[in-house]
Amino acid sequence: MVKVEAVPPEEAPVAEGGALPLAMPLGGVGVGVGVVDGCGVGGGATTLAGAQDTIYLCNFRVSVDGEWLCLKELHDVEFSTAAAPGAGDPLGAPLDDDLADASPTSPDGARPALARDPVFIERRNLLNISKLIVKELIETSLRFGRMLDSDHLPLQHFFIVLEHVLRHGLRPKKGLLGPKKELWGILQSVEQHCSEAADITASVRDLPTVRTHMGRARAWLRLALMQKKLADYLKVLVDHLEDLLAEYYEPDALLMSDEAVVIVGLLVGLNVIDCNLCVKEEDLDCQQGVIDFSLYLRSTNHSAVDSPEGELDQDNMTMVLDQKNYIEELNRHLNATVTNLQAKVEALMTTNALMKEDLAIAKNNILALQEENHSLRVRELPPGGESSPVATNGAPANDEGGGGGGGGNSLSAKELEELRAQLEQERKSRLELEKELDLQVSLKAEMEVAMKLLEQDIHEKQDTIISLRRQLDDIKLINLEMYKKLQECESSIKHKTELKNKLEAKSTAMADTLQKMEEKCELLQSEKTAAEEQVRFLSQALAQHEAQSTCVEGDLRVEREWRNSLQESMVKDRDKISQLHQELAQLRTVASKYVALQEEHYALKEICSEQERTLEELGVQLSASKLQVADLQEEANRAKGPTGESGGQWANDRLATQCRGCNKEFNLTRRKHHCRNCGEIFCNSCSDNTMSLPSSAKPVRVCDECHIFLVGRYSVCS
């Protein structure tokens, strides 16, 4: 590779001697330069300008004077202060600013070592040539219109230089079976960190006219430039230096050094250029052409004076193109923003759907709890229903001034307290269910993360299988090549053996005819010696070919063993993948069963605790009701014993037609009244008495007979 360090010249004087313009192939085919007699071109200011504008070719220094170059070997140049700089020799000038600033504190002997470092010179040459070509490409695109096609010469030069920049320091192939490091492999890895590169990578893979890896890399670079993402993709490579580039490049490669950032910065300026390249019609598999550097050297005779109208049209066109590029850049940013917002909307929709499902589950749980609460309340109604007649029986007494309402109010307060306790318990159970719901959501998220990890592991295994298959294909190709070589060796050995047999037959024939032809003895003797020498040579060649065949057989045996080991490892990997799939299915079924059993367990536990609390409350109420019944029986026995009445039954209103005391018939004016002690029906005059009874808290209506009896009993008791 030709190493060139070029500084774009501003304006340099024309060379004094005749020379040829520079035409140099960058791939190392040859260099055509103009060589001036002597050590340089002129002296004084001309020498200084020529020394400042220099191009370095690995072992040469070329002074740029206008359109012409002066070449001199570097071993004649001494970069020390003792060589009398500026004495008519343009090569006595110091190196450019980059070399001068490389080690400011180093001694004078360090500059020649740095200048002669081939790796450093290669990097600087490629960087300076890239600056030249990118600058010229932008200038020509502004002059002739920003829509460029494949025939544009600076664009062709740009792709050639960019290819050399990307291939600088690429690691060679390790061993016979090692994978070959290709530029196409590096460019394919961009889509792992930048999803936008997947489209052009897939398009390049589907190109029918491109067959080699280098051709695919060239097509990828052209598509990236048309997409105006070339600088972004190379920046991704530079940002992931240790992950992507370390295994492909040497440590002193251009992309591994600080100059890679400068290259990316140069490529950003190409976003103002529109390219229309037909990748299918180009022959990208062939070697690229050469670069004519005379296009990038300024001429002193060039003084283009444009008319005001032409300048105005050019300014208007430039303004329109600038607006177009601004709109395209704005559209790119808006598209990126839209894609990000769409991704966020999809994520929010998924989270909203999950939250709706969780809300529906929670509502179903609440409805189930409400139904269960209602059923428990229905179960608790019978004990309350037995106490209700007491309150209802006391209602008429309240209307007529009677008692019996205080016991009903106390029972309603107890029910209210019980309902409050049940409400608090329902709230606690609801909080517990919400906690359980959060726990289930977290478990679901953990399961999703585990599934993603398993999928990632499976994808990695698949990538490993693909790489092993590619290596197997490479090994098959190598085996085919070795088999072809073996066949060629066998055919050559067969040919040599046939030739040897023919020579032996000829020598025997010559020995037979030697006795008959004594006059030609000397001639035959010389032919015999020549034949023996040839036989000796052929035997040596045969031995060498046999050694080569044994070596080839050994290599073939090694290849077969390696192929068998790869096949065994591939079978093991497939078995392992199938086993992992089975384990994954089992884990899913176990997880679903575990969740169902856990929910059933919690539901049964809640039902059991609620039934225990209900039994405790029913026991307390039953004991209280038993005590009340016993008290009422005692009071009834005490009230019924002395009277001797017939049980104190409540008489029927329909059957009674006349008063039991005065035997007068009832009508609209004479109304029916029950005696609260004996239960018989009397008129108002016969039951116009009130007396306190044990069954009521207030005085109630009694008949005359019961009044006399009760008054007598109370007087006896007192």
Q: In b/e form, how buried is each residue of 188-212, taking b as 16+ CB within 10 angstroms?
A: bbbbeeeeebeebbeebeebeebee
Residue spans in the chain of domains classed CATH 1.10.287: 460-636
Higher pLDDT, 636 or 554: 554
Q: Which pair of structure tokens corresponds to residue 341?
A: 């917002």
pLDDT of 264 strictly over 80:
yes
Task: Give the CA diameter of the chain.
Answer: 196
Mean pLDDT value across residues 581-609: 92
Reply yes or no on whether the pLDDT at 428 is more than 50. Answer: yes
> 144-300 in CATH: which number?
1.20.58.900
Q: How far is CA 248 from the centre of its chain?
A: 23
Average pLDDT in the chain: 74
Query: Nearest Cα to 154, choosing from 35, 308, 294, 20?
Result: 294
Question: Tokens representing 60?
Answer: 């040469």
Mean pLDDT value of segment 439-465: 79
pLDDT class of 19 with cuts at 50, 70, 90:
very low
Mind listing the pLDDT tens digit for each residue in 198-230? 889 999 988 888 888 889 999 999 999 988 889
Task: Say whether pLDDT at 682 is over 70.
Answer: yes
pLDDT of residue 662: 92
Strands 4-6 and 147-149: unpaired
For the ranges 31-45, 107-121, 321-335, the maximum mean pLDDT occurs at 321-335
Q: Give percent of the chain with pLDDT exceeding 70.
A: 69
Three-class secondary structure of residue 57 per DSSP = strand
Condensed to tens digits (0 to 9), the pLDDT of residues 494-539 reads 999 999 999 988 888 887 877 787 787 787 788 889 999 999 999 9
The CATH architecture annotation of domain 649-718 reads 2-Layer Sandwich (3.30)
* Both structure tokens of 355: 């939250």
Q: Which residue has the higher pLDDT, 32 or 293?
A: 293
* Band (576; pLDDT cuts 50, 70, 90): very high
Could you tell me what percent of the chain has a pLDDT over 90?
Answer: 16
Average pLDDT over residues 592-610: 91
Q: Looking at residue 170, what DSSP letter applies?
A: B
Mean pLDDT throughout 369-378? Answer: 83
Phi, psi angle pair for 610, to nearest 5°: -65, -40
- Cβ 535 vs Cβ 503: under 8 Å: yes
Architecture of the domain spanning 460-636: Orthogonal Bundle (1.10)
pLDDT tens readout for residues 163-183: 999 988 888 766 555 566 788
536-555 confidence digits (pLDDT tens): 999 999 999 999 999 999 99
Residue 113 has pLDDT above 60, yes or no: no
pLDDT on residue 296: 66
Residue-wise pLDDT for 130-146, tens only, equals 888 888 888 888 877 66
CATH 1.20.58.900 in the chain: give the residue spans. 144-300
What's the average model confidence in pLDDT over 390-418?
A: 50
Q: Is residue 108 over pLDDT 60?
A: no
Tell me the C-alpha distance between 151 and 518, whole Å: 80
Q: How many CB atoms lie within 10 A of CB 669?
A: 7
